[in-house]
Structure 1
Amino acid sequence: MANSPQAKKRARQNERRFAVNKARRSRIRTFLRKVEEAIASGDQSAAKDALRSAQPELMRGVTKGVVHKNTASRKISRLSARVKALAA
Structure 2
Amino acid sequence: MANTPQAKKRAKQAEKSRVRNAGQRSNLRTFIKKVLAAVRAGDKEQAQAAFKTAVPIIDSAVTKGLIHKNKAARSKSRLNARVKALVLGE
TM-score normalised over the length of structure 1: 0.97
What code does the residue aligned with 1:53 have?
T
C-alpha distance in 2 between matches for 1:10 and 1:20: 15
Per the alignment, residue 33 of structure 2 pairs with 33
Per the alignment, residue 86 of structure 2 pairs with 86
SS of residue in 2 equivalent to 1:29:
helix
C-alpha distance in 2 between matches for 1:20 and 1:11: 14
RMSD in angstroms over aligned alpha carbons?
Answer: 0.6
What code does the residue aligned with 2:79 have?
L
Structure 1 stretches of 4+ moved >3 Å: none
C-alpha distance in 2 between matches for 1:22 and 1:8: 21
Per the alignment, residue 43 of structure 1 pairs with 43
Unaligned runs of 5+ in 2: none
Unaligned runs of 5+ in 1: none
C-alpha distance in 2 between matches for 1:13 and 1:86: 44
TM-score normalised over the length of structure 2: 0.95
Identity of aligned residues (%): 51
What count of residue pairs does the alignment treat as equivalent?
A: 88
What code does the residue aligned with 1:63 have?
T
